[in-house]
Structure 1
């Protein structure tokens, strides 16, 4: 993070704008909305900008900038097309420890102005660190359409009732849980419908009758194979609600970063034959945290119920009578195959697909090999990298042709995705020449050949889908 987002109180503070054109007017409008007193300095000043300053007890000086213009200034903005002048303003401000923004020149800035979604008192700021203001505005436009204008009215209602909630609940966690429930229920719906008075009355009744929240809940969340964009809306919503997040190495770091910043993060490991936290202990952690009254997210790569041991975890939760929700995720087979350009089924090549774990509980590979060699079936091996030689050998030994195509996908759907294609006879040698690292997925079947026919290309280890 190059810039720390901060919201500054500018009410009745003097803010300098150097420049008198259209850009200076846009920046001055932002300052004025926040309650600042404007001091505008430029040889020529736009009439609208001059009127804006006059209407808000500001000043306009029709002359060149001097260092004396910084006297009594809280912050400054340089918005001219004179690079030397902008640099002078920046240098003077840095020397005087006055925050300064130089339009379109992040190197000269000590603060930057974000793109803003204004639902006052709720304000959302979007920034690219000065690298791409246009991209920040595009993101803002997307957010504008998804954040109702009524959120501002809802924020005002919450502000009016905060002291009452503080008086009702001394514990900060109890207050947070109360507000989460209130803001996701009928009170909020009434505000959205324009019934603020009825909403306030209902909220006050809830505050008066509310008891301290008791009992936790566990969310088993399928995080997908790695790309955060593949997570469901429900997964994102529950992840943001969680007080504690348990995750392992199969969950992409970018997904872990999506949890609340104040949530407790617990790494539970789970590498082959090297569990940082044994499964039994993970089950118990879920129980223990929930019994403390906390909302617990168990992030699981792919889908919780496809080789994710989710069944073991909910069994213990159910035995302890702890509420839980299971959120399906895009399983690794579907995600990795799609990003690698390999359809798992095809009318001409494979009428069925089978998901198989590459190692069992005791790390053996004792599979029903004779059932895995049908030529019209795609077989997907999870966690099969270590057992790759055995997989290739046994499939051939039980009747699959040595020339059967096989693909090994490393860290599928992420920026580190790598796809190695060979045959059952040659894959072990290919991996020796072209090493890969876990997590990996193995796809065996004629559908692998379709990767080339469907015109997916590999470029420096990253797959690029041609634009149609």
Structure 2
């Protein structure tokens, strides 16, 4: 690795019982003192006067106060120095004295004078996450900390303590590292973690012993049926992200993009179950077999599907098969294409005056087209969100028009919705097949049919401007003004 003189070396210091000198006694100093006391350091504060927060700590005998001017000899016993005054001349003198004694010194808000920096911290004691930008972007570091705060539940700390207390027993019951690792990684979202989150520590201990007995008796494999959303990795749910980072095996559809797969644990095995160029789809029976095969080995399997597994994703069939084979499973919903694609195209699926309902349907082949109630689908004041292959567009258009839907009904074809290469084609029902061919619309694409589709022309906000060859009638004035 190339050397970077600006790179900081991350370090967690054991300060329990060790003297730390803090120069300054105001509000900023108080903010630095609190984590030092929490780490067990013997804090000494040098200041002529104290703010109320530091004064309160002195009155509680939680630190030592040296109520006079700073002198270099005060550094003699210190392991660490924090400088928190508004006098830069004094700050520079303390930093120089610390440097001469080979002491690490942090001068608050002064990168040049500091030999170490205090990171932004996510505290789930005993688990701590420290974030630093090397002083280059403290606001960005704070934002990252806030994101990690959301990811780490409050019970993660108590869970870390509980597992630490039982580490010898866990090693005895599960001597093999792979089995032990899978067991430890499964506790956060399992009964142990859930009981700790509810404040039930005795129940968590009982659940831990029970889980250990089961894990030692047989592999504890599991299948997570996970919705990957429409393709934007930012739309993957937090729970889905956790499962991807815990997975041993990922059985993923062809439509799941690399950006989402990149969220997974790096050493997880990926198996594509979709279609490659010139090859057939993996039969559903083979997907069933793979899920059972890997889970029976005690592995954590993620069945990763584009969109939502219960919206045209055959998730119901898969969990029926898992139940038949006594495999533990869970379902983690994803944002389905109808919601995400329409939103990214600026098209509301419902409107209180013009679309009181929305129907989700599929029309990817002749067999699926034959099952629809076309008279009901052709009614006005509703939106149709159609998951389909573009090859069926002509039949779909013909059927709706034949059953009374107006030929000028607005339509929007949304290709690669929510992804950087999103394209939106605005057209009408009668011109739908021709315009799809003209603009070479390919899979994955969602069709939105109904008056609200015309709003995509004015309300688009994501990606390129919508494409259009034929005029699309504007929505009624009442709808336009309400939008």
What TM-score results when the alignment is normalised by the length of structure 1? 0.68
Distance 1:86 1:435 in 2: 66
Do the aligned partners of residues 322 and 375 (structure 1) sit closer, same or farther apart at CA in structure 2, a change above 3 Å counting? same
Indicate if the aligned counterparts of 1:16 and 1:40 stay in contact, CA closer than 8 A: yes
Distance 1:222 1:38 in 2: 51
Matched, 1:331 2:336: yes
Matched, 1:217 2:203: no
Match of 1:221, SS state, is strand
Matches within 5 A, 1:247-396: 247-248=252-253, 250-251=255-256, 256=261, 261=265, 264-266=268-270, 268=272, 270=274, 273=277, 278=282, 282-310=287-315, 322-344=327-349, 348=354, 353-358=359-364, 360=365, 367-368=369-370, 371=374, 374=378, 376=380, 378-382=383-387, 384=389, 387=391, 391=393, 395=397
**Would you say how many aligned residue pairs link Structure 1 and Structure 2?**
447
- Find the partner of 2:33 among 14, 25, 28: 28
Match of 2:216, SS state, is coil
Do the aligned partners of residues 356 and 15 (structure 1) sit closer, same or farther apart at CA in structure 2, a change above 3 Å counting? same
Structure 2: gaps (5+ residues):
1-6, 467-480
Structure 1: gaps (5+ residues):
none
Deviations 1:397-445 (A, max 9, x none): 9656553322122443467655443335666887799888864322223
Matched, 1:446 2:454: no
Mean Cα displacement is larger for which, 198-207 or 91-100? 91-100
Indicate if the aligned counterparts of 1:342 and 1:451 stay in contact, CA closer than 8 A: yes
RMSD between superposed Cα atoms in Å: 5.5
How far off is 1:30 after superposition?
1.3
Matches within 5 A, 1:21-420: 21-38=26-43, 49=54, 55-56=62-63, 62-63=69-70, 77=82, 79-81=84-86, 103-104=108-109, 111-118=117-124, 120-123=125-128, 130-132=138-140, 135=143, 147=154, 155-179=160-184, 180=186, 184-185=190-191, 189=195, 196=202, 211-226=216-231, 235=240, 242-248=247-253, 250-251=255-256, 256=261, 261=265, 264-266=268-270, 268=272, 270=274, 273=277, 278=282, 282-310=287-315, 322-344=327-349, 348=354, 353-358=359-364, 360=365, 367-368=369-370, 371=374, 374=378, 376=380, 378-382=383-387, 384=389, 387=391, 391=393, 395=397, 399=402, 403-413=408-418, 419-420=424-425
Distance 2:89 2:28 in 1: 17
Do the aligned partners of residues 353 and 99 (structure 1) sit closer, same or farther apart at CA in structure 2, a change above 3 Å counting? farther
Mean Cα displacement is larger for which, 340-349 or 19-28? 340-349
Do the aligned partners of residues 266 and 23 (structure 1) sit closer, same or farther apart at CA in structure 2, a change above 3 Å counting? same
Distance 2:437 2:101 in 1: 61
Distance 1:438 1:106 in 2: 52
How far off is 1:332 after superposition?
1.0
Match of 2:313, SS state, is coil
